[in-house]
Amino acid sequence: MGGYGDVKLLREDGLRLDGRKVDEMREVEIEAGILPAADGSAWVKHGLNVAVCAVYGPMEAHPRKIQRQDRAVIDVRYNMAPFSTSDRIRPGYNRRSREISKVTAEALESVVLVERFPRSKIRVEIEILAAEAGTRCVGITAAAVALADAGIPMRDMIVGVASGKIEDTVVLDLDKAEDNYGQADLPMGILPTTGEIAFLQMDGDLSVDEYNTCMEYNLKAAREIHELMVDALKRRYMEKNGGEA
């Protein structure tokens, strides 16, 4: 991802093509408990990305060879719907979805108290219904809300956010054009209350200063998204409770 010199991603007035400032996030909406059949579920809209996540378990881990005697395993299945992008995606597992499932599972394992459920499995199904760059982050956010909704004990609710570099400028939350034609992309899974990082990938090159700016943007965005996650969970039960806490 060396960048494409002739593609303009920043306007004359310093704003991005969709009118956002460099440190501005796309609009985020979160709902918890949308699937009655699942133990826990969430719906997240982040810009034009739409993700649905369902959590099942803890249940007995099958096949038995995946069982761990001292903890639960988290089985994540990340999948993009065939209609989620402009080009149809061939349904089923592919190299990319396998990678994202793996890194998401590892990120979630660091927040879920897996040692409480030896020999069990917690199934997390992430379905991307519409994609516009940053789906792995949206998937992680949705998974955290769905896990909390399922009553799985966690240290914190992990938030997925990304920032990157376009035209030598660090920007928060890349959209599709910025992701495709930008110079770098830095998705992270952040534990907002402690500021710990449970997941980090980097595509492209960033200087130390640029990296630090990305970190700063991501931490700020993570706290904002975290507030929406908490609000979604509380709203679900406040409504159930007739508006009373």
**Neighbouring C-alpha atoms within 13 Å toward the C-beta of 166:** 26
Nearer to another protein, 150 or 161 (CB): 150
Identify the DSSP state of 183: S
| CA pair distance 245, 241, nearest whole angstrom | 7
Contact 149, 101 (CB under 8 A): no
Instruction: Compute the least distance from the CB of residue 202 to another protein, in Å.
Output: 25
Of the candidate spans 23-31, 77-85, 214-222, 232-240, the one that interacts with another protein by CB under 8 A turns out to be: 232-240
Instruction: Compute the least distance from the CB of residue 25 to another protein, in Å.
Output: 20
- 112 CA to centre of own chain: 15
Identified binder of another protein from the candidate list 16, 192, 199, 222, rule CB under 8 A: 192
Site for another protein in 54-73 (CB under 8 A): 57-60, 69
Closest CA to 111 of 144, 85, 83: 144
Site for another protein in 91-120 (CB under 8 A): 111, 113, 115-120
Provide the β-strand partners of residue 52.
43, 127
CB contact set of 21 (below 8 Å; sequence gap of 6+): 14, 15
Nearer to another protein, 22 or 35 (CB): 35
Identified binder of another protein from the candidate list 23, 106, 109, 156, rule CB under 8 A: 156
Is residue 191 a contact residue for another protein (CB under 8 A)?
yes
Note the maximum CA span of the chain.
Answer: 59
Provide the β-strand partners of residue 163.
172, 186
Would you tell me how many other CB atoms lie within 10 Å of the CB of residue 74?
A: 25
Instruction: Kindly report the backbone phi and psi dihedral angles of residue 3, in degrees, each rounded to the nearest multiple of 5, phi listed first.
Output: 90, 155
Please work out the total of residues on this chain that contact another protein, with binding judged by CB under 8 A.
40
Phi-psi region of 57 (alpha: psi -120 to 50; beta: other; left: phi over 0): left
Nearer to another protein, 145 or 172 (CB): 145
Is residue 193 a contact residue for another protein (CB under 8 A)?
yes
Is residue 50 a contact residue for another protein (CB under 8 A)?
no
Instruction: Compute the least distance from the CB of residue 33 to another protein, in Å.
Output: 9
Instruction: Compute the least distance from the CB of residue 198 to another protein, in Å.
Output: 12
Is residue 18 a contact residue for another protein (CB under 8 A)?
no
Is residue 148 a contact residue for another protein (CB under 8 A)?
yes
Of the candidate spans 11-19, 87-95, 216-224, 230-238, the one that interacts with another protein by CB under 8 A turns out to be: 230-238
Tokens of 177: 């054009």
First to last CA, the chain: 49
Is residue 37 a contact residue for another protein (CB under 8 A)?
no
Binding site for another protein (CB under 8 A): 39-40, 57-60, 69, 111, 113, 115-120, 148-157, 191-194, 229-230, 233-234, 237-238, 240-242, 244-245
